[in-house]
Structure 1
Amino acid sequence: MSPLLLTYYGDDLTGSTDVMEALALRGVETALFLDVPTPERLAGFENLRAIGIAGTSRSQTPDWMDANLPPVFRWMAAQRAEIAHYKVCSTFDSAPAVGSIGRALELGRAVFADTPVPIVVGAPQLRRYTAFGELHAAFRGETFRIDRHPVMSRHPVTPMREADLRRHLAAQTSLPVALVDAPSLLSNGGDAAVDAALAAAPGAILIDVLDGTTQAEAGRQLRRLAGRGSRFVVGSSGVEYALAAAWQSAGVIGGTSRFAPLAPRERIAVVSGSCSPTTERQIRHAEAQGFVALALDPRALAAGDAAALDGVASLALGHLGAGRSVVVHTALGPADDIGAELGGPDARHAIGRGLGRLQARLVREAGLDRAVVAGGDTSSHALRELGIFALTPRLPLPDTPGSPVCRAHSDEPGFDELEIAFKGGQIGDDDYFVRLRDGSEGTASARMLHRA
């Protein structure tokens, strides 16, 4: 029997660290790799119960998925973990041509013996809820149906115009998707409702999660379905929150963890490719608290303009040398989003890579030991420019879930042990960047994952 509880592939980096955080808070030792790890890489980590692969499929085409996802899914299947999870954003934003969750579901199902695929999206910890198959998400203290969400209904690449997730998926896959709604899930322990859904031979089964009770039952059903062959699961980090409840109830994990506090730093560097109003507020708040905000034209990054990048790098290094923190950004909110002008995903990927090269230079030349990258798609492409091969948890932030501080593992001394956070566009309070400069208290609640 494998000691692994879980393998997962995250469709972007910030989603991948979100899963790592959910597991780490409950004492599940986890390492996140940029690529399928070699046995030699794995040997550098001890006591692993979960292994993740940080991917980029959220911003990729179905053709890219056809070429790149099956080998990863085959590796996941070979690890024989209890659950293999294709992790998607809790807002489920996707489209037939970009980040198709339906296509990824088809590819995973084909590798895992064509068994029905459970789908769990609701994550109350992130204020995401599914009720009767519809997705709802909070924004600034109010909860919206996802197709009326002030941000996600207007997402620049994959706007959510349909709240019913089965209808949303119908545009991406012809596989029938059954629903186990919350009342049915709670009736007679949920077994009868799940079995009835299975009797119709669906391609997938969407399970509602709208509170702690339905989440715990969803986790029990995921384990039950895995025992029947449905080990491949699609969903948000709500999958891990649900499984952790079930594992803890069954005595598989202790459910607690301890992390040391994050000490303050005189200066840190933030690079941001996010167009989110949440990130805009965080940048403006950081500037008011002593950060220097530097604008970088995304057109220059998309065009590979080395001179523009050098100019901003010189300015940023000057401020860092004077002891000031910096935020280099390509946008301040949705008004600065010029995605349509840039001409497609390749340009957005180039922006992410450019910001990654910039952050690498700032860390290396300024001797930084803490850094931040903001933007989900940005982070996925930026990380590959930083010479990092794996991440482990440094400090989960329970009051700002989905944006943990990570410890970098690299063959380059200047990046090994770097404390780095990757923040999705919608994630975090206004003081997120300031808190990472000024330090945060540790979490008390099993032991930290150590590199062997």
Structure 2
Amino acid sequence: MSVDFAYIADDFTGATDVLEALASAGARARLYLDCAPSAVEPGLQAIGIATTARATAAAELPNVLAPLFDALVSLQPAIVQYKVCSTFDSSPEIGNIATVISTAWERFPYQSVLPVIVGAPRLGRWVVFGNLFARYGVTAKIYRLDRHPVMRFHPITPMEESDLGVILHHQGLPHPVEYLTVLDYTLDQSTSFEKFQRTDRTVLIADTLLEEHLTTLGRLVLAALRTPALVIGSSGATQAICNALIERGKFCGEPLLAAPYPVDPVLVVSGSCSRVSANQTQRAIQAGFCEIAIVPDKLLHNDAYIEEVAEKIAQQLCRGKSVIAHTCSGPDDPRLLNRHSPWERLHLGRELGRQLGELVARVAGRVPVRRIIVTGGDTSGYVALAAGLKALDPIAVIAPGAPLCRACAPQTCLDGIEFCFKGGQTGPEDFYLIARDGVKT
């Protein structure tokens, strides 16, 4: 069975972000976790595969991603997207996007121009003259990526450059890079990808300052590229393609997502070290959430400690109290693993995420919990896999880029539970309150 749109995401929060964009466009979509489905359910128009590629060593990426791209190409969709973070989180050693491009492009030998669409204005991400800018959640101020208060000092992939083409070349991209800029939209309404082609293969970085730029890009992709076509980009790229597929009558354009209804208590598990998440945590505690500060070193090496924390959480949930359990609360938290090298932090973060997944499963086995929020891009992937989730279906939106999904986890206590996987930079300060109380009217 074929689908209209298929994607691979480099982390789980980004994967659900794309799922939201598809459902908002009226597409019936499902997200599979870390593996391609053996069969596509009837009626699906789009499918995705969530991976932890963003936190994977560059040398391992081809072996991880090649079979997934092969599986998606076999479905003959119009578009295959590799979803990257809208802050382009990557480095030459970890989550290398240039390596992904080389691996994926081998499956599309007929495609001479590869669009890279990273900006997502609805999320506060813009690309102008090839440089990426991002809003900082605490102040709403906009920063160039290499000056962003969080991304410049990311514990695993600190971003020291804002020009996306330069970043890709630093990561070893073997192809020339061209730029479709805001001036091209203004001066040449008949812009086509071919005018940018310099060799048999050219990577094209597309500016995305305005929402209408996404509409133009979506039309260009479908009109100019033979299908299946490969696109690299954030959920902004997904939105661009969805707009074009709506115009062509492939997607209905009527959102399939509702506003979240109140659920109390909820469980929040956070492995994020961002200040945005820390502020959200403090706001939740002020609003009545029970705080449980987890000691990472104990969680990593002491099963009795996991049992102790699980029991504490379960007791509070049984009393009707929403709980927020975290391993870090902001970049100044002494529990932060910054005393280690990036490779050590990567390994420890992976193990910590797995233990948090075990913690979630133990809590759900003790007490019925209907809604679980997991915060942290890398954390989310490890938690979902360790907890045994197989697939996610979108049902509602808590905030842009952070949908609520129903989990498919056959023969486990987590089957049917509502999950939200939220990036550390995502959402307003009262995000957890909305997750508990429903959307404010």
Query: Considering the TM-score relative to the shorter chain, is it more than 0.5?
Result: yes
**Contact (CA 8 Å) 2:14, 2:377: kept in 1 or not?**
yes
Structural RMSD (CA): 1.8
**Contact (CA 8 Å) 2:23, 2:257: kept in 1 or not?**
no
**C-alpha separation in 1, matches of 2:105 and 2:253:** 30
135, 138, 161: which is aligned to 1:138? 135
Give the deviation of 1:328 after TM superposition: 0.8
**Contact (CA 8 Å) 2:353, 2:379: kept in 1 or not?**
yes
**C-alpha separation in 1, matches of 2:310 and 2:269:** 11
Is 1:174 aligned with 2:174?
A: yes
Cα–Cα, structure 1 residues 308 and 8, in superposed 2: closer, same or farther, change >3 Å?
same
Query: Please, which moves more after superposition, 325-334 or 246-255?
Result: 246-255
**C-alpha separation in 2, matches of 1:282 and 1:152:** 18
Q: Show CA shifts across 1:225-263 (max 9, x none).
A: 332x57111110111111122222333322112444433
Q: Percent identity?
A: 34
* Aligned twin of 2:372: 371
**C-alpha separation in 2, matches of 1:257 and 1:441:** 19
Is 1:77 aligned with 2:59?
A: no
Is 1:251 aligned with 2:249?
A: yes
Give the deviation of 1:388 after TM superposition: 1.7
* Aligned twin of 1:217: 216
Query: Please, which moves more after superposition, 361-370 or 250-259?
Result: 250-259
After TM superposition, the structure 1 = structure 2 runs for residues 45-444 of structure 1, keeping only pairs within 5 Å, are: 46-113=42-109, 115=111, 116-139=113-136, 140-172=139-171, 173-192=173-192, 194-227=193-226, 231-301=229-299, 303-336=300-333, 337-341=336-340, 343-397=344-398, 400-412=399-411, 414-440=413-439
**C-alpha separation in 1, matches of 2:271 and 2:35:** 26
Give the deviation of 1:196 after TM superposition: 1.6
Give the deviation of 1:189 after TM superposition: 2.4
| Corresponding letter in the other structure for 1:388 | L
**C-alpha separation in 2, matches of 1:240 and 1:362:** 35
| Corresponding letter in the other structure for 2:143 | F
Give the deviation of 1:203 after TM superposition: 3.5
After TM superposition, the score normalised by the length of structure 1 is 0.92
Cα–Cα, structure 1 residues 439 and 295, in superposed 2: closer, same or farther, change >3 Å?
same
**Contact (CA 8 Å) 2:256, 2:395: kept in 1 or not?**
no
Q: Show CA shifts across 1:160-193 (max 9, x none).
A: 111111011111123222211121134332434x
**C-alpha separation in 2, matches of 1:304 and 1:101:** 33
After TM superposition, the score normalised by the length of structure 2 is 0.94
**Contact (CA 8 Å) 1:278, 1:425: kept in 2 or not?**
yes
Q: Show CA shifts across 1:399-438 (max 9, x none).
A: x211111011121252222111111000011111111111
* Aligned twin of 2:21: 22
Give the deviation of 1:285 after TM superposition: 0.7
| Corresponding letter in the other structure for 2:366 | E
Give the deviation of 1:307 after TM superposition: 1.9
**C-alpha separation in 1, matches of 2:236 and 2:259:** 26
**1:174 partner SS:** coil
Give the deviation of 1:321 after TM superposition: 1.7
**C-alpha separation in 1, matches of 2:261 and 2:206:** 41
**C-alpha separation in 1, matches of 2:440 and 2:72:** 35
